Chains A and B, each alone.
Chain A
C-alpha cells in the first residue's frame, strides 16, 4: 500500500507531557497537510507544507504546536505540554499542488 501513513495510530499521554506524531505522504506528493478532528466534527485545518516550507498555520495551532518537514518528505507534528483539550484525531493528508488531498489513518491522541 503506497498511501499516506501515520505513526503512531494511538497515543495516550499524561497532561503536561510532550508528544510527537509522524506522517509519511505519498511519495510524489509535494504538499502535506495536518488537520485535527474532534468527536462529532469534521477535520479542521492546522497547517500545510509545500516541499519543506511551512506556508500557512491556522490560529488553532497554538505556540505549543510545531510542525516540520525537514527534507520535503515525511513530517512531524509535536505538541508540547499537552492539555486535555488537545485530545483529538490528528490527520495528515498529501497532494500534488492544487489537486485532491489523500488522507492517512490518523493518530488518536488521548490526554489524561
Chain B
C-alpha cells in the first residue's frame, strides 16, 4: 500500500537548535517528494520539492531535504531554527506514473520552537 510515515508527531526545540524531521514512504514506483508547511492560522504552503536530479534539495527559509532512494526517505533539515518556524510540517509523495498526481501525505509533525 502507498503510505508516508512521519516518525515524530511533536518536536520541541529551542531557537538556534538544529532540526531534522524524518519521512519515509512506501510506494511501488518512482516518486516525486514534497514537504509542505502550515503556519498557525495559515494554509498549506510548499516548502520544497524533489522531482529529479540532485537529491539534496534546498527550499525556502533555509530548509533543505535529502532524498535517499535506498532508504525510501526524504528527511527535512534546518541547521538553526527560529521561533517563526513553529508550524506543522507534512511530507507528501506522488507517483510519476500516476496520471492523477494525487498527493499522499504523512500525518504531520508539529514543531514548537521556544524563544
Question: Which A residues fall within an 8 A CB radius of B?
Answer: 4, 31, 33, 35, 40-45, 48, 55-56, 91, 93, 95, 97-98, 100-106
19 A-B pairs with C-beta separation under 8 A = A4-B43, A40-B108, A42-B92, A43-B90, A43-B105, A45-B102, A45-B104, A48-B100, A55-B99, A91-B43, A91-B44, A95-B101, A98-B101, A101-B101, A101-B103, A103-B36, A103-B45, A105-B42, A106-B43
Given contacts A42-B90, A42-B92, contact A56 B102 (CB under 8 A): yes
Cα distance A106–B56 in the bound complex, in angstroms? 31
Select from chain B the residue with minimum beta-carbon distance to A106.
B43
Question: Which B residues fall within an 8 A CB radius of A?
Answer: 4, 34, 36, 42-46, 49, 90, 92, 99-108
B99 contacts which chain A residues (CB < 8 A)? 55
Question: Nearest 7 CB-CB pairs, A to B?
Answer: A42-B105, A103-B44, A45-B102, A105-B43, A56-B100, A43-B105, A42-B90
A56-B100, A56-B102, A103-B45 are known contacts; what are 11 more A-B pairs with Cβ within 8 Å?
A33-B102, A42-B4, A48-B102, A55-B99, A91-B44, A93-B103, A95-B101, A100-B34, A100-B49, A103-B43, A106-B43
Cα distance A44–B103 in the bound complex, in angstroms? 8
Select from chain B the residue with minimum beta-carbon distance to A41.
B107
Is B43 touching A42 in the complex (CB atoms < 8 A)?
Answer: no
B100 contacts which chain A residues (CB < 8 A)? 45, 48, 55-56
Select from chain A the residue with minimum beta-carbon distance to B99.
A55
Select from chain A the residue with minimum beta-carbon distance to B91.
A42
B43 contacts which chain A residues (CB < 8 A)? 4, 91, 103-106
A106 contacts which chain B residues (CB < 8 A)? 43
Shortest beta-carbon distance from A78 to chain B in Å: 20
A102 contacts which chain B residues (CB < 8 A)? 46
B106 contacts which chain A residues (CB < 8 A)? 42
